[in-house]
Amino acid sequence: MTERRRFLITGGSQGIGAALVTAAARHGDVVFTGRNDALIAEVARGSGAHGLRADVSIPDDNARTVEHCQKMMGGVDVLINNAGFGYYAEIGALDVEMMKNLFATNVFGLVDLSNRLVPLMKTQGHGDIVNLASTSGMKGNKTGTAYGASKWAIRGISQVWQAELRPFGIRVVCVCPSEVQTHWMGRTGRNNPNKLYAQDIADTIMAGLNMPRRVLWPELAVFANNPWKEE
């Protein structure tokens, strides 16, 4: 990536988000958000990026995040909507309030923050929006009503935004990672050296951003080549 860019990355205090912050900080100025002060401070120290405690499900936090980016960086060239969490339950035992809370972050928070930034990107005549969906949004899985539905929604939203924003020089990319070795939902037993790493997803996204601006990856699924291999 030749020119320096201004990045806003949500959910940047751990997992894929932290890997993205570190990668992006090598190519530009970065503001990232999270909800855990200790993790935010750790990523900020390691990357040199600027961390901000903010929750995308809270509209006032999103307004404050945009204002902070304008103050710190003068705007945003790349928005990476990474913040999200999971909730799994079979239909018949589903907590609908939990599903609403999940959508408040995974879907409505993503929309609210993007809605605030797109007018600024239109004014400057360029921008990139990267939405993190999942392969769970490409094929239904047991217990995945809430989480899978949120990721299906992100894929659909991304397609709509592509149609709306391409004429303004704004690229919208939807990335669908398969299972990644992170502390997802506090679980550590999923670690397997043959599965994807957070860095793999970060590198993929940065490669897409580094393509000439005439090139758009509308959607990309990322799988481990052979996650079942025994060492």
- Give the active site residues: 147
- Distance in angstroms (rounded) separating the CA atoms of residues 17 and 39: 11
Q: What is the distance in angstroms between the CA of the first residue and the CA of the last residue of the chain?
A: 36
Instruction: Write the CB contacts of 113 (distance below 8 Å, at least 6 apart in sequence).
Output: 10, 56, 62, 65, 66, 79, 81
- Token pair of 183, please? 């502390």
Q: In 3D, which of 64, 71, 87 has the Cα closest to residue 10?
A: 64
Q: What is the phi/psi pair of residue 158, to 5°?
A: -60, -40
Residue corresponding to tokens 């539905």: 149
Rounded Cα–Cα distance for residues 75 and 6 (Å): 7
